[in-house]
Structure 1
Amino acid sequence: MAKVLWAIIAVAACIVMAESLKCKTCSVGLLGSCLQSSEQNCTGSEDRCFTGKAEFDVSGALSFETSGCLASSSCVNSTGTILGVGFTITRTCCSTDLCNAASTTHLPITTALSAALLVSVWASGMF
C-alpha cells in the first residue's frame, strides 16, 4: 500500500512540474545587461513571465532591469518618486515558457559597478 501511495505522489509531482511555467530570471540588470541570469519554474499564483525596467526621469540613461515570474495581477506599470527624482516602472508580461528570454550580455561585476558609477556621475552633471 505504501508503494502505491509513493507512486501516486511521484506521478502527481511530475505532472505539477511539467505544467509549471518556465521563465528567464535576472535579479539585477544594468545598462541593458543582466549581471546573472538563470531559468526558474514559476510556482503558486505566478502565472506569467515578465521583464521589468525602472527608468529614472533625471537622465533617461540610468535604468535597472529585472525578469522572472509574476502573478498576472502584478503586470502593471507604475510611477513614483525617490528623493525627489521621478521614476517609471514598466513590466511586460507573457505566458509561454521562456517568453521573456531577451538576449543578455553577462558583465563582470566590477565592469557593471564601474558603469553604474560613471552613469551616476554623468547624470549629476559633473561631466
Structure 2
Amino acid sequence: MMNRIMLGVIAVIGFFTLSEALTCNSCKVGVLGKCLLSSKVDCTTPMNNCFSAKAEFNVSEFLSLSTSGCTSDCNNTSGTILGAGYTVTKFCCTTDLCNGASAVQLSMAGVLSTALLASIWSSYIL
C-alpha cells in the first residue's frame, strides 16, 4: 500500500516537472505599435504569464513605447521619468504566444535613438 502511494506521488511530481514551459512573444522595444526586435521566449517560474505593455507619456500621446515577454507582475503602473509622467498598461495572458508581437525594419538612427529611450524606460518598467 505504501509503495503505491509513493509511486503516485512520484508520478504527480514527474507530471508537473515534465510539463512544458509557457512560450511568449518577446519584444524588448516597440515604437508606435511596432516591435524593433522580436523573438520567442520560454517563461520560467515564477514568470508564468505572457504580457504586452504600452507606456504612454502624459506630455504627448504620440510618444509611446511598448514591450512584451514573460512576467509575474500584471499590474498597471504610473510614475515619472525626467519629470515627464507616464502610464504603463499591461495585458497578461496564460497560453502560448497569446501576446502577439510584430516586427518592423527601421533605420540604424531610429534603432539607436529608440535604444537610448528604451534603456531609460526599461529600468522603470521591469
Normalising by structure 1, report the TM-score.
Answer: 0.69
Output the CA distance in 1 between the equivalents of 2:55 and 2:18. Answer: 32
In the alignment, what sits opposite 2:69? 68
Output the CA distance in 1 between the equivalents of 2:81 and 2:63. Answer: 14
User: Secondary structure at the residue paired with 2:62?
Assistant: coil
In the alignment, what sits opposite 1:85? 84
In the alignment, what sits opposite 1:4? none
User: Secondary structure at the residue paired with 2:44?
Assistant: coil
CA distance 1:29–1:76, shift in 2 (3 Å):
same
Root-mean-square deviation (CA), in Å? 2.6
Output the CA distance in 1 between the equivalents of 2:70 and 2:76. Answer: 16
Listed as ranges, the matches of 1:1-127 within 5 Å are: 16=17, 18-71=19-72, 74-112=73-111
Residue 84 (structure 1) shift = 2.1
Residue 110 (structure 1) shift = 3.0
Residue 115 (structure 1) shift = 8.5
Residue 47 (structure 1) shift = 0.6
Alignment length (residue pairs): 103
In 1, are the aligned partners of 2:37 and 2:103 still within 8 Å (CA)? Answer: no
Residue 81 (structure 1) shift = 1.4
Cα deviations by residue, 1:39-96 (Å, 9 ceiling, x for unpaired): 011012111000011110001100110000011xx10001111222110011110000
CA distance 1:67–1:41, shift in 2 (3 Å):
same
User: Secondary structure at the residue paired with 1:110?
Assistant: helix
User: Secondary structure at the residue paired with 1:107?
Assistant: coil
Gaps in structure 1 of 5+ consecutive residues:
1-11, 117-127
Normalising by structure 2, report the TM-score.
Answer: 0.70
